[in-house]
Structure 1
Amino acid sequence: MKYAKLALNCTFVLSCLCSSVQAAQNSGEKTSPEIRHGTSELPPSRQYYCYSQQDYNNGSGGIKNAACKEAYEKAGNENWERARLFDNWNAYSQNLASSQTPAKPKDLVPDGKLCSAGKVDFDSINIRSDAWHTTDLEVKEGRIQLVYIASQMHDPSKFRVFLTDQDNLKWDALKESPDVKVERVPDSKNGKATPGRYHLDVQLPDGYVSNSKSILYIMWERNEDPARETFFSCSDVVIKNTRS
């Protein structure tokens, strides 16, 4: 399977991504790496792009991307609070089912809070800014190729992929892909919860707009989990049509 060339150099070590060490040291809070599982890598989700820059470890002064900097500064009063916005890149999730009442995504992730999965700690990732890193996605025969990075893989699981324009982060504005093909590529074959990646071959929804900024919205639901834990992410993109 051939994937589009996206302008990001991904050289991350998954074993180092379980927790925010700085947060644990400063708050005394016990970390829970088992609740953190994945996000969009290509194109990078907002939090994953900011994380990948590794320029926030000494506060906001070194952050080069203006949107990452603004989101960081609005994420808390202390640097350890702010850093978890990016360090916990794979923890943007909600449980859609409980022992009493199953929930719809919009019951827990309200309009305007889609990028943060409705979590207060991650709220500033929702800010409107033209400075968010934007990835060009090439279209071939109406389809785009994506990569989803997982610190734990889960099967069976379900991916849903949506598009919306940059300033309309509302459920009713999302256009859903009618077809998402998934290829599972684990880093190791020892156990189903190994780290790895999912390669997504996605048919674009009708009515998508090319050559303007859009938001690619991905939901990844763990179907083997009774709680239906589901991960949410926003990636800022420009859809580029090609003739070939």
Structure 2
Amino acid sequence: MISQLFQGFGQTMLEVGAALAPLLFIFFIFQVQLFQLPLRKFLPILIGFLFTFFGLSLFLQGVYLGFLPIGRLVGAELGALDIIWLLLPIGFLLGFFSAYAEPAVHVLIHQVEKASGGYIPQKGLLYTISIGVGVSVALAMLRLIIGMSLWVFLVPGYATAFLMLCYSSKAFISIAFDAGGVATGPMTATFILSMFVGLAGEIGETNPLLDGFGMVALVALAPILSVLTLGILFGRKERSN
């Protein structure tokens, strides 16, 4: 059992090591040329790199063994539902909680609250991003059911986003586009994406290669719109005060 769980783990560690090695190399250059940190500050950073290495290796191993297979199985089961329109609320809930549990989203909201001095609370921003992702996954389900083109959502969506830039503050504009990036993190790109591939293989005459992908583009767009909306609401609140 243990041997099966760690099958291919060496290759996963090599992949993570290759990704982290340039960052570690650049850090060493800065340490020698600029930082020159004392040993008591230098060692915790090295230990942090070590934790990151093993953490990412274990996470990716879990993705290969667990998230990807279960995502496809869940998608296949959802595609076999008699009431196909149940996919919309189910998609919203899965999108909401995948964003709510997304580690990168929690890093973002923590940094935003810290940088804003508490003006933008973590919980409010977290719910805003999660709702946006939930709506986007529900729309991706709708696209899969009806067979609509991805452009029908992306072109009006980004046009609306650029229009909203004129009414939102500069701070929220920056946060919004970062939110679109972090929302498409490991939770969405592993479980939700593999679920859509499995779902596309079960619904009607859909092609998993053509219809199973594109969901991440919608997930990247939705938090931009939701955070810009939050920025507009904050702006109105400030003007009313």
Is TM-score (shorter-chain normalized) higher than 0.5? Answer: no
TM-score (norm 2): 0.26
TM-score (norm 1): 0.26
Higher fraction of strand? 1
Larger Rg: 2
